[in-house]
Amino acid sequence: MQEFIQTIVNGLQTGSLYALIALGYTMVYGILKLLNFAHGDVYMVGAYIGYFVIHWFGGPTALSIPVPLLILIMFALASTGCGLLGVAMERFAYRPLRDAPRIAPLITALGISFVLENTVLLLFGGFTRSYQTESFISATSGIHLGGVTINIVEIMVIVVSVAMMFGLRQIVHRTTLGKSMRAVASDREAAEMLGINVNRTIALTFFIGSAMAGVAGVMSGLAFDQITNTIGFLAGLKAFTAAVVGGIGSIAGAMIGGIVIGLAEAFSLSYISTKYADLIVFGILIVTMLVRPQGIFGRPLLQKV
């Protein structure tokens, strides 16, 4: 029972990270019908920004500022940095290809992902870096339930993710920006004719999505401790799976999908096999595709001629 609850907590933690990344995928896909393979690498860049912030303020063992402030600064810098990276990607790589054949931006996305991964490798080296979270956030503090400890990092990851998703939902449904995002997603040309600044809307979508991935990167560094330049690939893949399982284009779907994938992964890690956890996630994707291609929350697409 103890292990069971611990597994659920782990699953929720991983799942909320996947959900945060998945939101970026789903937003960009919803608005541009573009699969941004480089999104996982944006998350990786976020993790690196967080790492350098820690070292900027004296390193994990000799922090010069209080921990909550440090985490706030990490979030702020990672989300701004990654957001700008996302906007730059959109402006220089994807915008020129907006009316190109469908396959062209996908190949560009592959290229960007590859360049980002290797740029980080060139600049910071290929070795694994560690956040050493335990030296400034105690691993034992947190909520104790029977024999299970839900530590502060786990609580923070889940709470921050849920808060950000809620915030995003408010943005999309309550603000003018959200309205123009929905308009551009449903028909770009018509939105343009109605006076919506399409380029700005798309750029802001990229900014928000990438900023969320940046925050997810920082939190994954705090939660899993180790980062390398290749963490983006698998995380991106799984987050995309989450977006598809939940129903691509749907924000609630990305959340639920992320949690589903996170739980599935956690359970297969602790009860089935550590080796095949990725294959099980893959199996979920295939089954979803075959049984309900539009995902849990998606609506079936009508094909237009």
Partner 1 sequence: MAQIGVDDWVAQSGGRRDGGSGWRKLLARADSRLGWWPRLALVTLAGLIAGQLLTNVNLQTVAFNSLLYAMLALGLNIAVGWAGLLDLGYIAFFGLGAYGFAVLSSTATGASGSGGTHLPAIESIPIVILIAGVVGVVIGLIALRLSGDYLAIVTLFVGQAFMEVVNNVDPGTLGGVNGIFGLDSLHSFGSQVTSPLGYYYLALVMTVVLAGILHLLDTSRTGRAWRALRDDPLAASAMTIPVNKLKVMAFSFGAMVGALAGTLFAAEQNTVFPTNFTANILILIYACLVLGGVGSIAGAIAGGLVVTIGEQMLSSPNDAGYLFYGLILIVLVMRIRPWRNLAAVLTGVIGLGFAAHALAGAISSAAVAGAPGSGGSIGSAVRDYVIVPANPATYGNILYVVLICALVVIVRLHGTRRLLAVVPTVYIAACCWEARLIVNPSITTQIMIGAILIVTMAARPQGLLGTHRVETAEQ
Sites of contact with partner 1 (CB under 8 A): 29, 33, 35, 88, 92-93, 96-108, 110-115, 117-119, 121-123, 233-234, 237, 240-241, 244, 275-276, 278-279, 282, 285-286, 289-290, 293, 303-305
Which three-class secondary structure string do you get for 76-107?
HHHHHHHHHHHHHHHHHHHHHHCCCCCHHHHH
What minimum distance in Å lies between the beta carbon of 180 and partner 1? Answer: 19
* DSSP per-residue letters across 127-181: S-EE--GGGTS-SS-EEEETTEEEEHHHHHHHHHHHHHHHHHHHHHHHSHHHHHH
Distance separating alpha carbons of residues 220 and 238, to the nearest angstrom: 14
Q: Which lies closer to partner 1 via its Cβ, residue 37 or residue 136?
A: 37
Query: Least distance (Å) from partner 1 to the CB of residue 281?
Result: 8
What tokens were used for 261?
């994938």
What tokens does 92 get? 């220089």
**Please, which residue, 108 or 250, has the CB nearer to partner 1?**
108
Nearer to partner 1, 61 or 303 (CB): 303
Nearer Cβ to partner 1 (13/288)? 288
User: What is the smallest separation between the CB atom of 112 and partner 1, expressed in angstroms?
Assistant: 6
CB-nearer residue toward partner 1: 167 or 293: 293
Q: How far apart are CA 83 and CA 42, in angstroms?
A: 9
Q: How many CA atoms lie within 13 A of 37 on its CB side?
A: 17
Question: Shortest approach of partner 1 to residue 276 CB, angstroms?
Answer: 7
> Cβ of residue 77: shortest distance to partner 1, in angstroms?
16
Residue among 247, 194, 185 at smallest CA distance from 28: 185
